[in-house]
Amino acid sequence: MKKFYNVAILGATGAVGRTMIKVLEERDFPIDQIKLLASPRSAGQELEYYGMKYKVEPVSPEAFEDVDIALFSAGGSTSKQWAPIAVEKGAVVVDNSSAWRMDENVPLVVPEVNPEDVKWHKGIIANPNCSTIQMVVALNPIHKAKKIKRIIVSTYQAVSGAGAKAIKDLEEETRARLEGKYYYPEALPAHIAFNVIPHIDVFQDNLYTKEEMKMVNETRKIMHAPDIKISATCARVPVFNGHSESVTVETEEPITVEEARKLLSEAPGVVVEDDPFNNVYPMPIEVDGKDDVFVGRIREDLAFDNGLSMWVVADNLRKGAATNAVQIAELLIKYDLIKK
């Protein structure tokens, strides 16, 4: 086993890419050399890692020479083009796009839920959708104890999940409206300031959006539970960072609130904040910059016989993307899956 590894980040100038750099530094990832890559349009910028400035290089086949681990966060079409090239050069790719998630030959991994799946990778490991990641981290302890048969989820997703332009949309439109001016968003399908948009990604023939179907299909794959019935509604809210979810599950066996709190409080990557009478519950503004999944408002559901409802919040740029990817890279080292 090597002690230090050469790491490349493709999409380094984006919000997730920049967060990946920060997370690698915070977690003291054993890096020998780091390469920051982007499209030719974004290349040439300088970014810092451990106080040193690195120039962002344009992506090319040669850029992946001698790279052990490549963290991708540059969109599906880019991943389809460059991931096979990176693998051919000898790198293991951890991809944050949707390009490979449902490929039967590609593991879809959340380290707190299905870490062993990294062992059957063939060069590419997929990082799940941000809203899926936080939900399965919270639900896996319940599923292992009582077996979940049904999930109803509504998401309240921050604009950072739609990228830097969407963050700008919220800033600029909020300012404009407070000044009595007009602004129409550039990156979002409708007004975002003081509004809620029940539309993330494109609508499918079944009238669910692609984002909603990601939650359905990815959850089943990650949890190895193809028979779970799942219905999702995903909305964009005027929050800068941090996704919130209202989740209701139906289990095969009864589960009490006390049992659920105990299971969740002992689960890896989960923090329980559940004292509603004293206004203690997770909120996106308070989880910003944190890596755990926060759960509160745990209560027996009134619609299902064996029902449980909860409120789940996480930083979508970190646990929902960058941190989960780095954790996958840590698993590659733990299981000695980098052979160069």
* 24: DSSP letter: H
Residue 211: count other Cβ atoms within 10 Å of its Cβ: 25
Residue 284: count other Cβ atoms within 10 Å of its Cβ: 22
**Distance (Å, whole) CA 102 – CA 335:** 23
- 130 labelled catalytic: yes
**Distance (Å, whole) CA 318 – CA 324:** 7
Q: How far is CA 7 from CA 4, 13, 81, 83, 257, in A?
A: 10, 15, 19, 14, 43
* 152: DSSP letter: E
Structure tokens at 189: 């399908």
**Distance (Å, whole) CA 138 – CA 281:** 15
Q: How far is CA 144 from CA 137, 251, 264, 273, 308, in A?
A: 12, 10, 11, 21, 15
- 143 labelled catalytic: no
Q: List, in sequence order, every residue forming a beta bridge with 58; answer none if it has no partner.
A: 38
Token pair 């979002």 in the structure block, residue: 188
Q: How far is CA 211 from CA 22, 79, 84, 92, 131, in A?
A: 27, 18, 25, 26, 9
**Distance (Å, whole) CA 308 – CA 292:** 21
Question: Pairing state of beta strands 243-251 and 148-157?
Answer: antiparallel
Phi and psi angles of residue 307, each rounded to the nearest 5 degrees, phi first: -110, 150
**Distance (Å, whole) CA 43 – CA 14:** 12
The one catalytic residue among 130, 143, 224, 234 = 130
Active site residues: 130, 243
